[in-house]
Structure 1
């Protein structure tokens, strides 16, 4: 009974220890999420949000900051365009590296911040030329028989099986005959 209680207590301790990192990580996961969505395609970067209301003339600006830049005004800025339901901005010819995208609405609020990695674009390779194909005559599937004048003859399955049975029975008969002759005659 005592060992059962010890195992039960240690099991609860292990479960609590396993749940603690998950509980601590949950608030940080919520804090990381932002009101923007950033995507990359080759050397193009785009950001989309629905958090910026229009002030009548614009929705706000987005800034693309390199790893050494820390201020919104230091990055490459692009104006948000779109509708009241969805706004977006994009940058082209972005060099490979790690960047931070910040979106500031026209009313001065920050819609979100997100880090991205732009990888080097893959260089398309030229298609390989196909090697010329040569045609060859199909070889017979059941064997070839050379004859006078180079005649070729295909044997059917029945012929091959019949020949194999004859060879096998002839071999068995020859062994039986030779063994019988080797034994001394008993009278």
Structure 2
């Protein structure tokens, strides 16, 4: 009988972690692209597209006057199976919409970006080979800004794991107690 009791205690932390996961559902649909602007350069990164007929897809930079994907400045995506990207240089100040369409015709996402007027010229760089994009830089390799749903699910999982772990350790019988 003692083994059944220990088994039920050891499954409590697992249940505390599994319950929020089951209730959360898929969180990958928060955002399919990440857009950034630095000076007069705009770039977009995604991992939603797959290689199809030698192409990852196309990204389009549209001003407020442009209403369709084909009217924008289009750039072919380049990258790997992990990450695809596109960039525009010399973008005038203003608000733009960046849309990514994968080569299979499915939209990976759309995001608004604001380019501010640059008062200082962009720093010049020595001619160096471009990075292979094999490893993403940043804090822990993170290159995306996750939405509130993803952060909420992560916080709930962390909180429940801490609470379940503390509860389990507190309920564990000490060497001086006998059952």
TM-score by length of 2: 0.50
Aligned with residue 74 of structure 2, among 72, 77, 80: 77
Q: Work out the CA distance in 2 between the residues paired with 1:59 and 1:93.
A: 24
Q: Work out the CA distance in 2 between the residues paired with 1:56 and 1:95.
A: 33
Q: 2:98 maps to which residue?
A: 101
Deviation at 1:104, TM superposition (A): 0.1
Q: 1:42 maps to which residue?
A: 39
Deviation at 1:47, TM superposition (A): 0.1
Q: 1:57 maps to which residue?
A: 54
Q: 1:89 maps to which residue?
A: 86
Q: 2:168 maps to which residue?
A: none
Deviation at 1:56, TM superposition (A): 3.6
Unmatched 5+ stretches in structure 2? 1-26, 122-179
Deviation at 1:60, TM superposition (A): 0.2
Q: Work out the CA distance in 1 between the residues paired with 2:68 and 2:115.
A: 20
Within a 5 Å distance, the mapping from 1:147-158 to structure 2 comes to none
Q: Work out the CA distance in 2 between the residues paired with 1:100 and 1:69.
A: 9
Q: Which structure has the bigger radius of gyration?
A: 1
Report Cα offsets for 1:140-178 as digits up to 9, x if no partner: xxxxxxxxxxxxxxxxxxxxxxxxxxxxxxxxxxxxxxx
RMSD: 1.6
Q: Work out the CA distance in 2 between the residues paired with 1:33 and 1:41.
A: 24
- Per the alignment, in what secondary structure is the counterpart of residue 73 of structure 1? helix
Deviation at 1:122, TM superposition (A): 2.0
Total equivalences in the alignment: 94
TM-score by length of 1: 0.48
Q: Work out the CA distance in 2 between the residues paired with 1:61 and 1:117.
A: 20
Which structure exhibits the higher relative contact order, with contacts defined as CA atoms closer than 8 Å and separated by 6 or more residues? 2
Deviation at 1:106, TM superposition (A): 0.2
Unmatched 5+ stretches in structure 1? 1-29, 125-187
Runs of 4+ in 1 over 3 A off after TM superposition: none
